Amino acid sequence: MKRSITIGAIIASSLGAAAFAHSGATGVVLERMNGMSAMKKVMGELAPMMRGEVPYDVAAAQKGAATIMAHAGGGMVKLFPEEAIPATSYAMPALWERWDDFSDLADFLESQAFGLAMAIPNGLTAPQPPSPPHDMEAMNNMSDMVGMTDAVAQPSQDLTVAQLMGVEPTANAHTSATVLPEERESSSLDYNMMAAPAAFERVSQTCAACHSQFRRGS
């Protein structure tokens, strides 16, 4: 009896969720909407944790990063076969017209989520480097590494006149999904030295870059 109630509740809740979120989507559209919804759920759960509003939970955060990885990259692009876009879909034609940009962002999301998984054990603040550099050369190399400084700095603080006026890119621009793929250098990021919230924000930047180009509405 108890079991049948549980099963009934599971069926009812999944039906309810499907009806509410997807308003009639079926097939591959439903599949990708489910994938997007799973990632949305992760972002919604992790955001208050990354803001320090709820206790930091490494296991839950790792599970979330894994969920995003599973739904990004190849797992995402295979759900976007080229076909007439049904009315239930939020996808824009540009997604197929600029397929390389889309699949590139999907891959970028996967690597960002992997980076998040690496940064999660660091918690809310970036760890200090284990040992100070021994010679001047190492010191100079350090200061050239943008990823190092930007792991601790708030990106929006203390921008220069040239950065504010758009003449020069901001410190983290060349590792961001919002620049063109050819200008992007993900290799200069050291997620082991990054605070988890900074890695989490990079994931959100990639979501935003994709949504702004390929999703209808807002």
Partner 1 sequence: MRLLVVPLILGAIFAAAGIFIVARWPIMEPVTLGMMEGDAKRGAYLARSAGCVACHTDVKMGGAAMAGGAPLDTPFGRFVPPNLTPDPVHGIGDWTLDQFAVAVRQGVRPDGKAYYPAFTYEFYNQFTDQDMADLWTAFRTVPPVSVPTARHDLNFPFNLRWGLKLWRARYMTQSETTPVMAQSDAWNRGQQLVNGASHCGACHTKRGLFGGLDANAKLEGNTNLPGGSKAPSISTEDLLSRGWTVANMAYALRTGITPDGDVLGGSMAEAIAQGTGMLTEGDREAIATYLLTPSGQISVGLPTNAAASSMDSMAGMAGMEGMAGMESGGN
Going residue by residue from 127 to 166, which x/- string records binding to partner 1, judged by CB under 8 A?
Answer: ---------------------------xxxx-x-xxxxxx
Enter the DSSP assignment of 188. G
In angstroms, give the least distance from the CB of 8 to partner 1. 27
Q: Does 201 bind partner 1 (CB under 8 A)?
A: yes
Q: What span, in angstroms and rounded, lies between the C-alpha atoms of 80 and 75?
A: 10
Q: Per CB under 8 A, does 204 bind partner 1?
A: yes
State yes or no: residue 78 binds partner 1 (CB under 8 A). Answer: no
Residues 38-57 binding partner 1 (CB under 8 A) are: 39-45, 47-48, 51, 53
92: how many CB neighbours lie within 10 A of its CB? 15
- Candidate list 3, 137, 167, 187; residue touching partner 1; CB under 8 A: 167
Q: Which of 111, 126, 110, 116 is nearest to 61 (CA)?
A: 116
Integer Cα distance of 195 and 52 in angstroms = 12
d(CA 79, CA 91): 12
Of 117 and 198, the one with the shorter C-beta distance to partner 1 is 198
Q: Counting beta carbons within 10 angstroms of the beta carbon of residue 20, is it exposed (0 to 12), middle (13 to 18) or buried (19 or more)?
A: exposed
Chain residues in the site for partner 1 (CB under 8 A): 39-45, 47-48, 51, 53, 154-157, 159, 161-167, 170, 178, 180, 183, 201, 204-205, 207-213, 215-218
